[in-house]
Amino acid sequence: MAASQAQLEKMQLRQNYRNVWHTNLMSTITADTPYCCFSLFCGPCVSYLLRKRALYNDMSRYTCCAGYMPCSGKCGESKCPELCLCTEVFLCFGNSVASTRFLLQDEFDIQTTQCDNCIIGFMFCLQQLACICSIVACLVGNDELSDASQALNCLADVVYCSVCACMQTQHKVEMDKRDGKFGPRPMSVPPAQQMSRFDQPYPPNVGYGHAGYPPGPPPPAPQAQGYPPAAYPPQGYPASGYQR
Protein backbone atom coordinates (compact mmCIF):
# COMPACT_ATOMS: atom_id res chain seq x y z
CA MET A 1 0.00 0.00 0.00
CA ALA A 2 2.82 2.40 0.87
CA ALA A 3 4.58 1.64 -2.44
CA SER A 4 1.38 2.26 -4.40
CA GLN A 5 0.85 5.56 -2.61
CA ALA A 6 4.43 6.60 -3.37
CA GLN A 7 3.96 5.80 -7.06
CA LEU A 8 0.71 7.78 -7.14
CA GLU A 9 2.44 10.78 -5.57
CA LYS A 10 5.25 10.47 -8.10
CA MET A 11 2.77 10.48 -10.99
CA GLN A 12 1.13 13.61 -9.61
CA LEU A 13 4.54 15.23 -9.19
CA ARG A 14 5.28 14.70 -12.90
CA GLN A 15 2.43 17.07 -13.73
CA ASN A 16 4.44 19.93 -12.19
CA TYR A 17 7.84 19.29 -13.79
CA ARG A 18 9.30 22.35 -15.54
CA ASN A 19 10.45 20.90 -18.88
CA VAL A 20 8.43 19.50 -21.78
CA TRP A 21 9.17 16.84 -24.39
CA HIS A 22 11.08 18.11 -27.40
CA THR A 23 8.22 16.80 -29.55
CA ASN A 24 4.72 15.77 -28.45
CA LEU A 25 3.09 12.49 -29.39
CA MET A 26 1.11 14.07 -32.21
CA SER A 27 4.28 15.30 -33.93
CA THR A 28 6.56 12.28 -33.58
CA ILE A 29 5.70 10.86 -37.01
CA THR A 30 6.90 13.99 -38.76
CA ALA A 31 9.78 14.51 -36.32
CA ASP A 32 11.46 11.19 -37.21
CA THR A 33 9.40 9.15 -39.70
CA PRO A 34 11.93 6.33 -40.32
CA TYR A 35 12.43 5.70 -36.61
CA CYS A 36 8.69 5.75 -35.99
CA CYS A 37 8.24 3.03 -38.65
CA PHE A 38 11.10 1.07 -37.09
CA SER A 39 9.40 1.34 -33.69
CA LEU A 40 6.09 0.20 -35.16
CA PHE A 41 7.42 -2.98 -36.75
CA CYS A 42 10.15 -3.89 -34.25
CA GLY A 43 8.97 -2.45 -30.93
CA PRO A 44 10.85 -4.76 -28.51
CA CYS A 45 14.19 -4.19 -30.26
CA VAL A 46 13.68 -0.43 -30.12
CA SER A 47 12.71 -0.65 -26.45
CA TYR A 48 15.95 -2.51 -25.70
CA LEU A 49 18.07 0.05 -27.54
CA LEU A 50 16.35 3.03 -25.95
CA ARG A 51 16.61 1.70 -22.39
CA LYS A 52 20.30 1.00 -22.85
CA ARG A 53 20.80 4.48 -24.28
CA ALA A 54 18.79 6.04 -21.45
CA LEU A 55 21.28 4.44 -19.06
CA TYR A 56 24.17 6.01 -21.03
CA ASN A 57 25.09 2.50 -22.24
CA ASP A 58 26.06 1.62 -18.66
CA MET A 59 24.21 -1.64 -18.02
CA SER A 60 25.53 -1.79 -14.47
CA ARG A 61 22.80 0.77 -13.71
CA TYR A 62 20.07 -1.46 -15.15
CA THR A 63 17.14 -2.46 -12.96
CA CYS A 64 14.10 -4.36 -14.17
CA CYS A 65 11.41 -1.87 -15.27
CA ALA A 66 13.77 0.93 -14.18
CA GLY A 67 12.82 0.37 -10.53
CA TYR A 68 9.13 1.26 -11.01
CA MET A 69 7.68 -2.24 -10.47
CA PRO A 70 7.60 -4.51 -7.39
CA CYS A 71 9.82 -7.04 -9.17
CA SER A 72 12.57 -4.47 -9.75
CA GLY A 73 15.91 -5.48 -8.28
CA LYS A 74 14.77 -9.05 -7.65
CA CYS A 75 15.38 -10.62 -11.06
CA GLY A 76 19.14 -11.09 -10.98
CA GLU A 77 19.80 -7.97 -13.03
CA SER A 78 23.29 -7.49 -11.59
CA LYS A 79 24.48 -10.87 -12.94
CA CYS A 80 23.15 -10.65 -16.51
CA PRO A 81 21.54 -7.27 -17.19
CA GLU A 82 21.44 -7.73 -20.98
CA LEU A 83 19.48 -10.99 -20.69
CA CYS A 84 17.12 -9.46 -18.13
CA LEU A 85 16.50 -6.47 -20.37
CA CYS A 86 15.78 -8.76 -23.33
CA THR A 87 13.30 -10.67 -21.21
CA GLU A 88 11.67 -7.45 -20.04
CA VAL A 89 11.18 -5.94 -23.50
CA PHE A 90 9.76 -9.15 -25.00
CA LEU A 91 7.58 -10.37 -22.13
CA CYS A 92 6.59 -7.00 -20.64
CA PHE A 93 6.81 -4.72 -23.65
CA GLY A 94 4.28 -2.15 -22.41
CA ASN A 95 5.99 -1.87 -19.03
CA SER A 96 9.40 -1.49 -20.68
CA VAL A 97 8.20 1.46 -22.78
CA ALA A 98 6.51 3.12 -19.80
CA SER A 99 9.57 2.56 -17.58
CA THR A 100 11.92 4.24 -20.05
CA ARG A 101 9.46 7.12 -20.25
CA PHE A 102 9.34 7.55 -16.47
CA LEU A 103 13.13 7.28 -16.29
CA LEU A 104 13.59 10.18 -18.71
CA GLN A 105 10.87 12.27 -17.08
CA ASP A 106 12.30 11.92 -13.59
CA GLU A 107 15.87 12.50 -14.73
CA PHE A 108 15.17 15.68 -16.67
CA ASP A 109 12.02 17.04 -15.02
CA ILE A 110 9.84 16.46 -18.10
CA GLN A 111 6.19 16.99 -17.35
CA THR A 112 3.28 14.82 -18.49
CA THR A 113 1.14 17.03 -20.70
CA GLN A 114 -2.64 16.77 -20.91
CA CYS A 115 -2.49 15.98 -24.63
CA ASP A 116 -0.18 13.01 -24.07
CA ASN A 117 -2.32 11.89 -21.14
CA CYS A 118 -5.44 11.92 -23.31
CA ILE A 119 -3.81 9.84 -26.03
CA ILE A 120 -2.40 7.27 -23.60
CA GLY A 121 -5.67 7.20 -21.62
CA PHE A 122 -7.67 6.61 -24.82
CA MET A 123 -5.39 3.68 -25.65
CA PHE A 124 -5.94 2.09 -22.23
CA CYS A 125 -9.71 2.66 -22.26
CA LEU A 126 -10.01 1.13 -25.71
CA GLN A 127 -8.12 -1.94 -24.57
CA GLN A 128 -10.34 -2.34 -21.52
CA LEU A 129 -13.48 -1.90 -23.62
CA ALA A 130 -12.29 -4.51 -26.11
CA CYS A 131 -11.58 -6.95 -23.26
CA ILE A 132 -15.05 -6.41 -21.75
CA CYS A 133 -16.76 -6.88 -25.12
CA SER A 134 -14.83 -10.12 -25.70
CA ILE A 135 -15.93 -11.49 -22.32
CA VAL A 136 -19.55 -10.53 -22.96
CA ALA A 137 -19.45 -12.09 -26.44
CA CYS A 138 -18.14 -15.36 -24.97
CA LEU A 139 -20.87 -15.44 -22.32
CA VAL A 140 -23.76 -14.51 -24.64
CA GLY A 141 -22.65 -16.50 -27.66
CA ASN A 142 -24.05 -13.99 -30.13
CA ASP A 143 -22.29 -14.08 -33.53
CA GLU A 144 -22.83 -10.40 -34.28
CA LEU A 145 -21.51 -9.38 -30.88
CA SER A 146 -18.54 -11.71 -31.35
CA ASP A 147 -17.70 -10.10 -34.71
CA ALA A 148 -18.00 -6.63 -33.15
CA SER A 149 -15.70 -7.63 -30.29
CA GLN A 150 -13.09 -8.96 -32.72
CA ALA A 151 -13.20 -5.73 -34.72
CA LEU A 152 -12.83 -3.73 -31.51
CA ASN A 153 -9.90 -5.90 -30.43
CA CYS A 154 -8.23 -5.29 -33.78
CA LEU A 155 -8.74 -1.54 -33.44
CA ALA A 156 -7.37 -1.60 -29.89
CA ASP A 157 -4.26 -3.47 -31.05
CA VAL A 158 -3.65 -0.99 -33.87
CA VAL A 159 -4.00 1.97 -31.51
CA TYR A 160 -1.73 0.29 -28.92
CA CYS A 161 1.03 -0.41 -31.45
CA SER A 162 0.75 3.08 -32.93
CA VAL A 163 0.88 4.89 -29.60
CA CYS A 164 3.82 2.78 -28.37
CA ALA A 165 5.70 3.55 -31.60
CA CYS A 166 5.04 7.27 -31.14
CA MET A 167 6.12 7.13 -27.50
CA GLN A 168 9.38 5.39 -28.35
CA THR A 169 10.09 7.90 -31.12
CA GLN A 170 9.41 10.67 -28.60
CA HIS A 171 11.97 9.10 -26.25
CA LYS A 172 14.53 8.80 -29.05
CA VAL A 173 14.13 12.43 -30.09
CA GLU A 174 14.46 13.51 -26.46
CA MET A 175 17.72 11.60 -26.08
CA ASP A 176 18.96 13.12 -29.33
CA LYS A 177 18.39 16.47 -27.65
CA ARG A 178 20.11 15.27 -24.47
CA ASP A 179 23.15 14.07 -26.40
CA GLY A 180 23.50 17.33 -28.35
CA LYS A 181 22.56 15.96 -31.78
CA PHE A 182 20.55 19.08 -32.57
CA GLY A 183 23.60 21.30 -32.13
CA PRO A 184 24.68 23.39 -29.11
CA ARG A 185 21.87 24.35 -26.77
CA PRO A 186 21.71 27.98 -25.65
CA MET A 187 21.70 28.70 -21.96
CA SER A 188 18.29 29.49 -20.53
CA VAL A 189 17.65 33.21 -20.05
CA PRO A 190 17.22 34.18 -16.38
CA PRO A 191 14.22 36.22 -15.31
CA ALA A 192 14.32 39.98 -15.77
CA GLN A 193 14.74 40.57 -12.05
CA GLN A 194 17.93 38.51 -12.00
CA MET A 195 19.33 40.26 -15.06
CA SER A 196 18.77 43.65 -13.46
CA ARG A 197 20.66 42.54 -10.35
CA PHE A 198 23.66 41.09 -12.15
CA ASP A 199 23.94 43.19 -15.31
CA GLN A 200 23.40 46.71 -14.00
CA PRO A 201 26.26 48.43 -12.10
CA TYR A 202 25.88 49.54 -8.53
CA PRO A 203 24.71 53.14 -8.17
CA PRO A 204 27.48 55.65 -7.51
CA ASN A 205 28.31 56.19 -3.87
CA VAL A 206 26.77 59.66 -3.63
CA GLY A 207 25.12 60.47 -0.33
CA TYR A 208 24.38 56.84 0.54
CA GLY A 209 27.49 55.97 2.58
CA HIS A 210 25.84 53.09 4.55
CA ALA A 211 27.08 49.56 4.48
CA GLY A 212 24.22 48.30 2.30
CA TYR A 213 25.61 49.94 -0.85
CA PRO A 214 29.41 49.58 -0.86
CA PRO A 215 31.24 50.90 -3.92
CA GLY A 216 32.91 48.50 -6.30
CA PRO A 217 31.83 45.88 -8.85
CA PRO A 218 28.80 43.63 -8.18
CA PRO A 219 29.33 40.05 -6.99
CA PRO A 220 29.64 37.39 -9.72
CA ALA A 221 26.46 35.67 -10.89
CA PRO A 222 25.83 32.20 -9.42
CA GLN A 223 26.74 29.33 -11.72
CA ALA A 224 23.98 27.05 -12.96
CA GLN A 225 24.33 23.48 -11.84
CA GLY A 226 24.11 20.78 -14.50
CA TYR A 227 21.99 17.66 -14.33
CA PRO A 228 22.49 14.69 -14.04
CA PRO A 229 25.15 14.80 -11.30
CA ALA A 230 28.83 14.81 -12.11
CA ALA A 231 28.96 11.02 -12.46
CA TYR A 232 26.41 11.19 -15.28
CA PRO A 233 26.51 11.72 -18.12
CA PRO A 234 29.80 9.86 -18.53
CA GLN A 235 32.75 11.41 -20.30
CA GLY A 236 31.93 12.13 -23.92
CA TYR A 237 28.35 13.24 -23.37
CA PRO A 238 27.53 16.95 -23.58
CA ALA A 239 26.28 18.77 -20.52
CA SER A 240 22.52 18.82 -20.04
CA GLY A 241 20.57 21.91 -21.00
CA TYR A 242 17.41 21.06 -19.08
CA GLN A 243 16.04 23.46 -16.52
CA ARG A 244 15.89 22.30 -12.92
Residues 78 and 62: their CA atoms lie apart, in Å, by 8
Q: Report the percentage of the chain scoring pLDDT > 70.
A: 70
**Shared-domain flag, residues 150 and 172:** yes
The torsion region of residue 2 among left (phi > 0), alpha (psi -120 to 50) and beta comes to alpha
Report pLDDT digits (tens) over 126-182. 988 888 888 888 888 777 888 888 888 899 999 999 999 999 999 999 999 999 887
Domain finish residue from 161, 180, 199: 180
Predicted pLDDT of residue 242: 66
By residue range, what is the domain housing residue 55? 41-110
Residue 118 lies in a domain: yes
Query: What would the mean pLDDT of 225-240 be, rounded to a whole number?
Result: 53
Q: Is the pTM of this model over 0.85?
A: no
Yes or no: say if 166 and 28 are a contact pair by the CB < 8 Å rule: yes
**Shared-domain flag, residues 94 and 125:** no
71 pLDDT above the threshold of 60: yes
Predicted pLDDT of residue 144: 82
184 pLDDT above the threshold of 80: no
